[in-house]
């Protein structure tokens, strides 16, 4: 009530020209979806650390080790068997005197290769299959989904064994075993998203404008599924790495003298009693890979989740 009796300058009661455009102006920088997600991801320290570790492991396996390592992963030196970590051999040597450092990184290369293969299959087979199935719907969708169910019904172990009979055990076998069925999960996810999105009003608006099916999928539906796809990829990779490790561990995968993290762990496990370091090093790298990809996947899921925007 005070202001009624307060002495106020008459100038204060002049009308103000209000800029109508001002009301429509949007302040602040343009924030795209990916930039916004990256900002959120950066805040998640676990995810950021995992990303750094993953990148580091990639660099080590594919760049640094091949360039720098003085030893070959196959060179045997029976005089220097079972050496613990030394200056010459950072991870020690195995029962044939082979340098563990190089072998571990060779094994990591194999694991990462499998992970990448699974990821590529996910994208080129899984996404495409799921997108077609979900978008077309109806009878085609039914048939395609039954196809996936049949594929899923076959345990990949059986496929691996069959592949081993036809081809020799090795990288080819594993690739087939994992590649044949690994992409089905992504296909299902993408299909679900397509079903969800294709009835949304922005998709209907596009159709009303006369957009072709291809345009709809490529410009509207897939871009809105990218978050889901990326997140899923981050979980597919460790799953594939684990599958390979398991196959190699039980002897169906990589055979000597090739190395994979799984076979190294398998060999190391046998020597656990007297030469535990043979188990530690490949195990640590393997666990790092698994944990970091999973943490990264979790972080990405939080960062990309549209519900948490604004």
Partner 1 sequence: MSVDSILEVKDLRISFSTHAGEVEAVRGVTFDLRNGETLAIVGESGSGKSVTAKSLMRLLPEANTRIKGGEAIFEGQDLLKLSEKRMQGIRGPKIAMVFQDPMTSLDPTMKVGRQITESLTKHLGMSGSCARERAVELLKMVGIPNAEARVRQYPHQFSGGMRQRVVIAIALACDPQILIADEPSTALDVTIQAQILELLRDLQERIGTSIILITHDLGVVAQTARRVAVMYGGKIVETGTVREIFYNPQMPYTWGLLASIPLPTADRSQDLIPIPGSPPDMLEPPKGCPFTPRCPYAMQICAEEMPDYTTFSAEHKAACWLHHPMAPDVEPPVRVRGTQ
Partner 2 sequence: MTEGNGRPLLEINNLKKYFRVGRETLKAVDGISLKINRGETLGLVGESGCGKTTAGRVLVRLYEPSGGEVLFGGKNVHRTAGEEAKLLNRKMQMIFQDPQASLNPRMIVGDIVAEGLDIHGLVSSRQERLERVHELLEVVGLNKDHANRYPHEFSGGQRQRIGIARALAVYPEFIICDEPVSALDVSIRAQVINLMRRLQEERGLTYLFISHDLSVVKYISDRVGVMYLGKIVELASSDELYNNPVHPYTQALLSAVPVPDPDVEQERERIVLEGEVPSPVNPPSGCRFRTRCPYVTEACGREEPVWRDVGNDHWVLACHCIH
Interacting residue ranges for partner 2, rule: CB under 8 A: 21, 24-26, 28, 30-33, 200-202, 204-211, 215, 219-220, 223-224, 306, 309-310
Peptide bond into 187 cis (omega under 30): no
Count other C-beta atoms under 10 Å from residue 151's C-beta: 15
Distance CA 143, CA 122 (A): 20
Nearer to partner 2 among residue 15 and residue 23 (C-beta): 23
Q: Please, what is the minimum distance in Å from the beta carbon of residue 282 to partner 2?
A: 42
Nearer to partner 2 among residue 56 and residue 202 (C-beta): 202
Distance CA 107, CA 260 (A): 4
CB 229 within 8 A of CB 186: yes
Q: Please, what is the minimum distance in Å from the beta carbon of residue 210 to partner 2?
A: 3
CB 299 within 8 A of CB 48: yes
Q: Please, what is the minimum distance in Å from the beta carbon of residue 46 to partner 1?
A: 18
Residue 4 near which of partner 1, partner 2, none (CB within 5-8 Å, type-dependent): partner 1
Q: State whether residue 296 is helix, strand or coil.
A: helix
Residue 224 near which of partner 2, partner 1, none (CB within 5-8 Å, type-dependent): partner 2
Residue 284 near which of partner 2, partner 1, none (CB within 5-8 Å, type-dependent): none
* Binding footprint of partner 1 on the chain (CB under 8 A): 1-4, 8, 10-16, 18, 20, 22-24, 40, 310
CB 187 within 8 A of CB 127: yes
Distance CA 179, CA 239 (A): 12
Residue 270 near which of partner 1, partner 2, none (CB within 5-8 Å, type-dependent): none
Q: How far is CA 46 from CA 59, 194, 239, 295, in A?
A: 20, 31, 20, 7
Nearer to partner 1 among residue 3 and residue 153 (C-beta): 3
């Amino acid at each position: 009530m005070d202001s009624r009796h307060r002495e106020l300058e008459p100038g204060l009661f002049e009308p103000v020209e209000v800029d109508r455009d001002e009301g429509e102006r949007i302040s602040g920088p343009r924030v795209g979806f990916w930039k916004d997600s990256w900002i959120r991801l950066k805040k998640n320290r676990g995810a950021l650390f995992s990303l750094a570790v993953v990148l580091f492991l990639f660099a080590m396996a594919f760049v640094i080790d091949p360039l720098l390592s003085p030893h070959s992963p196959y060179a045997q030196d029976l005089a220097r068997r079972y050496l613990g970590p030394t200056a010459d051999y950072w991870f020690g040597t195995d029962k044939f005197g082979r340098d563990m450092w190089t072998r571990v990184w060779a094994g990591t290369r194999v694991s990462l290769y499998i992970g990448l293969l699974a990821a590529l299959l996910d994208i080129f087979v899984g996404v495409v299959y799921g997108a077609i199935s979900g978008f077309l719907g109806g009878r085609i969708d039914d048939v395609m989904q039954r196809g996936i169910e049949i594929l899923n019904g076959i345990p990949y172990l059986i496929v691996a064994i069959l592949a081993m009979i036809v081809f020799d055990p090795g990288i080819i076998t594993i690739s087939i075993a994992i590649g044949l069925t690994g992409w089905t999960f992504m296909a299902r996810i993408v299909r679900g998203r397509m079903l969800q999105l294709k009835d949304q009003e922005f998709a209907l608006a596009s159709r009303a404008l006369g957009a072709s099916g291809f345009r709809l999928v490529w410009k509207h539906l897939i871009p809105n599924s990218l978050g889901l796809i990326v997140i899923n990829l981050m979980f597919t990779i460790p799953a594939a790495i684990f599958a390979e490790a398991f196959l190699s561990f039980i002897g169906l995968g990589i055979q000597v003298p090739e190395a994979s993290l799984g076979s190294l762990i398998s060999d190391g496990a046998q020597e656990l009693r007297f030469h535990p370091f043979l188990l530690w090093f490949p195990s640590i790298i393997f666990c790092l890979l698994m944990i970091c990809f999973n943490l990264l996947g979790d972080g990405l899921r939080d960062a990309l989740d549209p519900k948490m925007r604004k």
